Structure formats: C-alpha cells, structure tokens
C-alpha cells in the first residue's frame, strides 16, 4: 500500500467519503481540491490547488506514491470549465506524476463515455465509445491519457467508469447504474492493490442484478462488489410504474445526459 497517497477532489461527493475511508490504508494522505478541504486530520496533508495550474500540480505530486483522482468537472458544464479541469488539468496531473515517479493512478472516468448504448443491452469496456456530451468526451480523453502514459512511460492507471454514486439508488435507471460507498471503497482499494494493472478500464458499479456492464475484462483487479440495487427495486418500480420508451433518457444508458445541449 502507498506510503503517501494523493486524493484529489477531496471536497467533493466521492472525495469526502474516500478521504475518511482511505486514511487507514496509507501512511500519509495528501488531500487536495480547488475548494477548501478544511483542517488537516491526523496523518493528512491538505493542499488547495487548481488542476489547470501546472506549477501547483507539480508541487502537489512531489513525494507521492499513488494517486486517486476524483477532482474535476463531474457533469455537462461550459466547455471552458471542462477544458480547464478535465483536459488541461489531467494532462498537468499526468505530467507531474511522470516527473515525480508516481507508479499508479486511479482515475474517475464515467458511465457517460458509453452513454449512447441502450439500457436493454449489456456492454463491456471493449466496445467503441459512444459519449453523450463534451463532459463524456473529456473522460475519454482521460482514459486515452492513461493508456498513453502506460504505453509510453509505464505509469499504470485504472480508469473507473463510475455509474451513479449514491447512498441508495434514486430512480429505476439507477437500479442498473448504482454504486454504493462501500463498493466504491472496495473498487478503489482493489485498483490500488492489484499487482499489475497496466491500463485497466472497469465500470464502477455495485453487484446490481440488472447491471448493464460486464466487468470480466477487469477481473485481475479482484474487485468483488457486495451491494445490489435490486434491494430497492420494489420501491423504485412503484415510484415509476411505467417507462416512456419514446424518451431518449429512458432508452439510453446515459439517462438525462443524452438530452444535454453543449454549454
């Protein structure tokens, strides 16, 4: 396990939870975000930094063994903000990782890179991408950056195509896409601990009975999800008893994202 682990996006939804859960698995946890992450807890180093600031990223990566990257724009927003955080910022992060000899990154991608596959099909990470917006395209760029930095420099990446991270699934669609906080912790730890990952793409999803995603190509990670959204099926099916199959948000895996206009 890493001696010094860097967690970006530590002020965000997933980052706040991982901050607590990862602390026990490293000697020092460096937590960073553009937003305030509050005071350092025992074993922590807190750094306020913007991804698009190359110098700040260089300082942030110094002395780090591994990175869990949750920072960035998490949905369709202005192209300028996506460009800064997810394109320029990720490049800064990888370049700094290369300069400082970081061996592995675990990077948040998204289900939206395959958002235009239908909800009635099961896909795996080898299918051609079908992104549902510029946010999703920026996540594909991130996956390709991970591929490139492994092929060229031997820096390993696990790209997590995260589904819907919630305390519990909120809609019928999320019966397929949900990932629990406990399974997210299992997935991140598996991604950090697996002996060899090269560049691996894995869907970040719980063991949902109605999952759209086949993770067998990422079996070597040893990720074994324990939670299943189907425990909530009766309640959510009652809330949405009929599905409008003329609505693209119901037809495609990306849900409402497939209706976004570029901003």
Ligand X SMILES: NC(=O)c1ccc[n+]([C@@H]2O[C@H](COP(=O)([O-])OP(=O)(O)OC[C@H]3O[C@@H](n4cnc5c(N)ncnc54)[C@H](O)[C@@H]3O)[C@@H](O)[C@H]2O)c1
Residues annotated catalytic, as ranges: 135
Nearer to ligand X, 61 or 70 (CB): 70
Question: Minimum distance between the CB of residue 195 and ligand X, rounded to whole angstroms?
Answer: 25
User: Whose CA is closest to 213, among 124, 120, 89?
Assistant: 124
Question: Minimum distance between the CB of residue 17 and ligand X, rounded to whole angstroms?
Answer: 9
Judge whether 119 and 253 are in contact, CB under 8 Å.
yes
| Closest distance to ligand X from the beta carbon of 32 (Å) | 7
Interacting residue ranges for ligand X, rule: CB under 6 A? 9, 11-15, 33-35, 50-52, 70-74, 84-85, 89, 108, 110-111, 162, 164-165
In whole angstroms, give the CA distance from residue 50 to residue 128. 32
Alpha helices, DSSP H, located in the chain: 13-22, 54-61, 79-82, 89-99, 134-153, 174-177, 181-193, 233-239, 248-251
Residue sitting closest to ligand X (CB):
12
- DSSP-assigned states of every residue in 228-263: -GGGGHHHHHHHS-S--TTSHHHHBTTGGGGGPPP-
Q: Which is nearer to ligand X, 111 or 155 (CB)?
A: 111
Measured from the CB atom, the residue of 167 and 234 that comes closer to ligand X is 167
The Cα–Cα gap between 161 and 183 comes to 13
Name which of 65 and 169 has its Cβ closer to ligand X: 169
Tell me the C-alpha distance between 10 and 31, whole Å.
6
Are the C-beta atoms of 149 and 94 separated by less than 8 Å? yes
- The minimum distance between CB 6 and ligand X, in angstroms, equals 12
Rounded to whole angstroms, the Cα distance separating 236 from 39 reads 39
| Residue number with CB closer to ligand X (245 or 263) | 263
Q: In angstroms, give the least distance from the CB of 85 to ligand X.
A: 4
């Amino acid at each position: 396990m890493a001696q010094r682990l860097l967690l970006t996006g530590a002020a965000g939804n997933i980052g706040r939870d991982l901050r607590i859960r990862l602390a026990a698995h490293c000697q020092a946890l460096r937590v960073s975000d553009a937003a305030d992450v509050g005071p350092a807890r025992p074993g922590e180093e807190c750094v306020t930094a913007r991804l698009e600031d190359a110098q700040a990223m260089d300082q942030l990566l110094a002395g780090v063994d591994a990175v869990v990257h949750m920072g960035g724009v998490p949905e369709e927003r202005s192209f300028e903000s996506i460009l800064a955080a997810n394109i320029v910022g990720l490049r800064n992060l990888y370049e700094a990782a290369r300069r400082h000899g970081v061996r592995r990154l675990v990077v948040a991608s998204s289900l939206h890179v395959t958002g235009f596959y239908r909800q009635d099909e099961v896909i795996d990470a080898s299918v051609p991408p079908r992104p549902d917006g510029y946010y999703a395209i920026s996540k594909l760029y991130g996956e390709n950056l991970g591929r490139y930095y492994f092929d060229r420099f031997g820096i390993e990446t696990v790209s997590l195509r995260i589904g819907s991270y919630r305390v519990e699934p909120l809609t019928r669609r999320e019966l397929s896409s949900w990932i629990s906080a406990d399974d997210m912790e299992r997935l991140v730890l598996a991604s950090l601990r697996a002996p060899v990952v090269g560049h691996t793409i894995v869907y970040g999803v719980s063991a949902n009975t109605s999952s759209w995603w086949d993770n067998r190509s990422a079996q070597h990670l040893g990720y074994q999800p324990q939670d299943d959204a189907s425990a909530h099926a009766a309640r959510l099916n009652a809330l949405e008893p009929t599905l409008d199959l003329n609505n693209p948000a119901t037809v495609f895996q990306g849900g409402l994202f497939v209706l976004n206009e570029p901003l």
